[in-house]
Amino acid sequence: MVASVKDKTDQVIMKDVFNPIIQFSVLLDGKNMSFNSMLKALSAEDISILAVSFLENFETSTIRFVVNYPDMVRKFCSKNAISYHETKVLGIEVDSIDKVAQVVNTIFAAEVKMHYMYSFLVRPSGRIGIILQTENNEFVTNVLHQTGIKTISQNDIGR
């Protein structure tokens, strides 16, 4: 959600009033933990992986994922000495594939660079959920809201 607020000069500004979605990125070197063992270990801790992207390059793999409760992942990684990186990403929910194309076209029309996109594994009621990382997530959120495209927050995906 976006709410209008006034700053000290009574100028109306747009302010995000939700928690952004947190994405974790973990670099796996193949010696300590595999992609499959990482997924199993998170699942054993009752951590629900809601969106995931996997990229393998030579001797390392990068796994990007979104979960229902980021604090649990932080504790899990700390307990298991796993290095990770957190990124605030955009979550978008639409009702059809045509709307996904509208999202991409809207971002390109706003002349904003999109770094990557991947989908949620499951969204309620057959809706389509995507994760986006752009060069300016706050601006893109405002542009999407102006075109009627719904963004979702960490609060929306927690169970």
Q: Which pLDDT value is given to residue 72? A: 92
User: Which one of 87, 114, 141 terminates a domain?
Assistant: 87
How many domains are there within the chain? 2
Whether residues 28 and 82 fall in one domain: yes
Q: Is residue 15 in a domain?
A: no
Whether residues 40 and 59 fall in one domain: yes
Q: Which pLDDT value is given to residue 3? A: 47
Quick one: tokens of 2?
A: 């976006």
Whether residues 97 and 49 fall in one domain: no
Q: Which pLDDT value is given to residue 9? A: 42
Query: What is the C-alpha to C-alpha distance for residues 21 and 66, in angstroms, rounded to an integer?
Result: 8
Whether residues 99 and 126 fall in one domain: yes
Query: What is the C-alpha to C-alpha distance for residues 56 and 28, in angstroms, rounded to an integer?
Result: 9
- pLDDT tens string for the chain (159 positions)? 444 444 444 443 444 444 689 999 998 776 556 778 878 888 898 888 999 998 888 778 888 999 988 999 999 999 988 889 999 999 999 988 889 999 999 999 999 999 999 998 888 777 889 999 999 999 999 999 999 998 999 988 876
Range of the domain at 100: 89-157
How many C-beta neighbours within 10 Å does residue 33 have? 17
Quick one: tokens of 126?
A: 């057959």
Q: Which pLDDT value is given to residue 78? A: 92
Q: What is the CATH number of the domain that holds 125?
A: 3.30.70.260
Q: Is the pTM of this model over 0.75?
A: yes
Q: Which pLDDT value is given to residue 58? A: 76
Query: What is the C-alpha to C-alpha distance for residues 91 and 73, in angstroms, rounded to an integer?
Result: 19
> Is residue 84 a contact partner of residue 98, using CB atoms and an 8 Å limit?
no
Give, as one character, the DSSP assignment of residue 19: P
